[in-house]
Amino acid sequence: MEYSESASAEREQTQVNAASRKPRILLAASGSVAAIKFGNLCHCFSEWAEVRAVATRASLHFIDRAALPKGVVLYTDEDEWSSWNKIGDSVLHIELRRWADIMVIAPLSANTLGKIAGGLCDNLLTCIVRAWDYNKPLFVAPAMNTFMWNNPFTERHLMSIDELGISLIPPVTKRLACGDYGNGAMAEPSLIYSTVRLFVESKIQQGGSSNVH
């Protein structure tokens, strides 16, 4: 099957299923200190949606796996490689892209922002993004030190991801974990949740299903 044919078949299949099920949200964390709120973020979404989670190696320093809701599977780079042995086996980053209606990267680190903007894909999270079907929404909530946020690279990288069709949930100004005061703190999990949910509900009101393509 040609790529475009298979992508369209994938979308049709999701549309058929979506009418009768909860939205499928793929939550991903990268290695910002704000990943300590990832468990809270998963809880915010898991009443309303089916949730699967992805974590970069660096983010695992901040995530308390025991704080994740029961039933939310957290996928890491190890799972990407342990689940594949030979041609014919499923490829995790493709399976997760197929499964998800929406992807939300929160927190988005400066490093992962730069990699997405440059098209790099050297871990599970960035492979999902590189293989993403941009007919489906992808939200990011950056979180970094104010000097990182104000670095000229940030604006360039944000412009590149905007061109891809990625939606920004902007950071906020407050006292940061490192002690500096300024912009760069991740939006609160409740705000990230309400932004995504309002987006989905507005699509449904416009005549779509919970599948927001």
Ligand X SMILES: Cc1cc2nc3c(=O)[nH]c(=O)nc-3n(C[C@H](O)[C@H](O)[C@H](O)COP(=O)(O)O)c2cc1C
Q: Which residue is nearest to ligand X (CB)?
A: 31
Q: Does residue 111 interact with ligand X by CB under 6 A? A: yes
Burial of 50 (0-12, 13-18, 19+ CB in 10 A): middle
Residues touching ligand X: how many (CB under 6 A)?
A: 15
Given the complex with ligand X, which of 32 and 209 has the nearer CB atom? 32
CA distances from residue 129 to 20, 100, 104, 145 in whole angstroms, order as listed:
26, 12, 10, 24
Given the complex with ligand X, which of 18 and 124 has the nearer CB atom? 124
| Of the candidate residues 30, 46, 154, 210, the single one contacting ligand X (CB under 6 A) | 30
Q: How far is CA 162 from the centre of its chain?
A: 15
Number of residues in the chain: 213
The CB-of-23 to ligand X minimum distance in angstroms stands at: 25
Q: Which of residues 45-84 bind ligand X (CB under 6 A)?
A: 56, 58-59
Window contacting ligand X (CB under 6 A); options: 9-17, 18-26, 29-37, 63-71: 29-37
The CB-of-17 to ligand X minimum distance in angstroms stands at: 31
Q: Does residue 210 interact with ligand X by CB under 6 A? A: no
Given the complex with ligand X, which of 7 and 121 has the nearer CB atom? 121
Q: Does residue 172 interact with ligand X by CB under 6 A? A: no
Given the complex with ligand X, which of 58 and 158 has the nearer CB atom? 58
Residue ranges in the chain assigned as alpha helix (H): 3-18, 38-46, 77-82, 92-99, 110-118, 124-130, 146-150, 152-164, 189-205
Which residue shows structure tokens 């604006």? 155
The residues carrying an active-site annotation are: 93, 178
Q: Does residue 185 interact with ligand X by CB under 6 A? A: no
CA distances from residue 164 to 119, 127, 132 in whole angstroms, order as listed:
10, 15, 10
| Of the candidate residues 14, 46, 109, 211, the single one contacting ligand X (CB under 6 A) | 109
CB distance 141 to 148 below 8 Å: no
CA-to-CA distance for 128 and 86, rounded, in angstroms? 20
* Binding stretches for ligand X (CB under 6 A): 30-34, 56, 58-59, 109-112, 143-144, 148
